[in-house]
Amino acid sequence: MNIKKYFVFDTRDGKSEETNNKKILKTLYKGVKIPWIRIIVGAFLAVFNVLVLMTQYENYMAIYQGTLTSLKPLWSYLIALFIQYVLIFLYVFTDQALVELVISVSKKIWRKMMKMPVRDFETSEPGSMLSRITLDATYSARPFEAVMAFLQVVAAILSLSATVPYGAAFATPWLIVALIAALVLAYFTARTLSRSTMFSQNKKAEQTDHYNEVLGNIRFIKASNSEEKAIEKSYEYIEKRYTAGLYTAFYQGLLEFVNNYSNVTLVVCFLAAIAAIGSGVIKTIEPVNEVYAFIFAIGAVIIGFMEFPTFFSEAIGGTRKIVSIFRHEEEDVESGRDVSDAYGDIKMEDVSFAYADRNVIKNVNVTIPADKITAIVGINGSGKSTLIKLIDRLYPGKDGEITLGDVKASEASLSSWRKKFAVVSQKTALFSGTIRDNICYGIDEVSDEDIMKAVKIAGLGELVEEKGLDYEVGVAGTKLSGGEAQRVAIARALVKNPEYLILDEATANLDSKTEETVSNGIAELMKGRTVIIIAHDYATIEKADNVIVMRDGKVEDFGSREEMIRRNPYMKLMVEG
């Protein structure tokens, strides 16, 4: 068995993580509502629980050695056991407090994630992000558990110090050596356990991401006869998870060794007793019984010391990834000028944008006229969708300037800017809840009259008449067909009543009959608005007033639809089909 490999970790996933443990905990709990009263009460109960039994040490020794002269010690010990039993139940209030703490941390994580820019989600694996809130948040309670364990150990030591049996002094040097060895072993285990926890988390997150990816594309995998390829790739992630499992198993074994260190202590004490008897320090064998009982009593103290560092190590190892989320900057959606009353052409001047080191939008200069329909076309990867995200300010514009009427985007608040836009895309965003909930999603107040008007225009009348507005659509709208989902999105945009409408392949992947119904709804939605359309086929843009042709992140050409058909090769290909 190659033991050495268990102490070598792949730390590439953790290069950017915090290394200051104090800073990690400070960042984790900042702004979190900690139920201090219940935790303190729980700590008191934990200490009192230890003290109750420790005050019964002499009675315990009398019962253990068979030297009872009356039933009083027995009754006293039984009452103490009952009190301890009750205290164990009362500790549930502390457990509930720690659950409340984990919930508060989970809310903090989720709020932070929702406030992060879109780009941060696109550069992180979804499984990794989800594990931060579903799994890793539970580690936030570990430091408090560690403090309680420490207080219990201190209480036990103080109690035992007054009950050290006569004749046990000969074992003291041996016990000191055993305790030092225990603490060294515990410290070593704690440090490696922290790294092992983070290593295991990374591999679990990678496997979850992979499974989500495969299952999300299962239809394509089946259609392309790629099951074996998917299986082979999945095996790689299973093997990585297996490696993480080996680490976990190894350290669990090490922890078991640590937790049973009291056996080593017993061996040390008995060796000390044998040596003392052999040298004549102890004249009779009887004191060994007393030492044995005493060592049994301090076994909990030794184990407490051994376990104490692991609480913090698991907390630190488990929360490094959480804290990394808090290093992300949040979007400030309120600062800046309110542009609710602004309207006019959308102008882009020298606008550039890059993903990491790859330039996607390069020095774009174009005007999208108000009250007109402007189509953006180009081959896949030409930058169409990124340009839209810059206009809607889902991506922060760092180079160049975007203006809406006479207002610069850099001076406008994100909240008021985004309220002016509505997006209907190929992939409809629906959520668990009712049809009504999804139509009104993101809109403060909507009357039933406005909802029903939007339902009628969007072509949802038949569905709503049959199912009702309170029909549950299922997770991500799985109970609706593709056409129904698109019509819900159209109704949502109608209710929002935006001044600027973005249609991103809104009728793609629909059958001809459904596309006709949806297109009628879109035609109604487009009336009286500035419309931006992204499309790959000419039928979708044949009503466009102007066309922007994108290629390699640049505006290749711009002009009226008729001009583009005459002079632009890509537009000619679109018309010819």
DSSP-assigned states of every residue in 392-461: TTSS---EEEEEETTEEGGGB-HHHHHHTEEEEESS----SSBHHHHHTTT-S---HHHHHHHHHHHT-H
Supply the DSSP symbol for 507: T
Phi, psi of 315 (to 5 degrees): -65, -45
Q: Percentage of the chain surpassing pLDDT 90?
A: 15
358-368 sheet: strands from edge to edge = 358-368, 346-355, 399-404, 407-408
pLDDT of residue 364: 92
pLDDT band at 316 (very low <50, low <70, confident <90, very high): low
More confident residue, 353 or 80: 353
More confident residue, 525 or 263: 525
Contacts of 540 (CB under 8 A, 6+ apart): 375, 507, 533
pLDDT band at 109 (very low <50, low <70, confident <90, very high): confident
Averaged pLDDT score across all residues of the chain: 77
pLDDT, one tens digit per residue, over 334-379 is 889 998 889 999 999 999 988 767 788 999 999 999 999 999 999 8
Contact indicator for 212, 299 with CB cutoff of 8 Å: no
More confident residue, 334 or 142: 334
pLDDT band at 4 (very low <50, low <70, confident <90, very high): very low
pLDDT(525) > 80: yes
pLDDT of residue 99: 86
Helix pair angle (227-259, 286-326), 10° resolution? 140
pLDDT(166) > 50: no
Q: Percentage of the chain surpassing pLDDT 70?
A: 70
pLDDT(252) > 70: no
Domain positions in the chain are 20-326, 346-576
pLDDT band at 7 (very low <50, low <70, confident <90, very high): very low
- State how far the Cα of 79 lies from the Cα of 389, in Å rounded to an integer: 70
Name the β-bridge partners of 530: 500
More confident residue, 181 or 448: 448
- State how far the Cα of 119 lies from the Cα of 116, in Å rounded to an integer: 8
Average pLDDT for 72-78: 79
Q: Establish how many alpha carbons lie within 13 A of residue 226's alpha carbon, considering only the half-sphere containing its beta carbon.
A: 13
Average pLDDT for 410-419: 90
What is the dotted CATH code of the domain comprising 346-576? 3.40.50.300
Supply the DSSP symbol for 472: B
As assigned by CATH, the class of the 20-326 domain is mainly alpha
Strand 546-551, strand 373-377: pairing = parallel
pLDDT, one tens digit per residue, over 10-65 is 444 444 444 466 677 788 888 888 888 888 888 888 777 777 766 776 776 676 66
Query: Minimal CA–CA distance to 291: which of 269, 271, 274, 276?
Result: 269
- State how far the Cα of 22 lies from the Cα of 319, in Å rounded to an integer: 12
Contacts of 171 (CB under 8 A, 6+ apart): 268, 269, 272, 273, 291, 295
pLDDT(276) > 70: no
Element (H, E) at 425: strand 421-425
Task: Pick the range with the lowest mean pLDDT from 230-239, 340-349, 463-472.
Answer: 230-239
pLDDT(547) > 90: yes
Q: How far is CA 143 from CA 147, 189, 333, 404, 433, in A?
A: 6, 17, 35, 51, 38
Radius of gyration of the chain (CA): 34
Average pLDDT for 74-101: 80
Strand 358-368, strand 530-534: pairing = unpaired
Q: Is the C-alpha dihedral spanning 19, 21, 22, 25 positive or negative?
A: positive
Tokens of 237: 């992630």
pLDDT(402) > 90: yes
Element (H, E) at 258: helix 227-259
pLDDT of residue 16: 40
pLDDT of residue 457: 87
Tokens of 143: 């430091």
pLDDT(181) > 80: no
pLDDT of residue 174: 60
pLDDT, one tens digit per residue, over 191-231 is 666 666 667 767 777 777 777 777 767 766 776 677 787 78
Phi, psi of 106 (to 5 degrees): -60, -40
Q: How far is CA 518 from CA 103, 258, 456, 467, 513, in A?
A: 43, 66, 12, 19, 9
pLDDT band at 282 (very low <50, low <70, confident <90, very high): low
More confident residue, 17 or 515: 515
Phi, psi of 392 (to 5 degrees): -80, -5
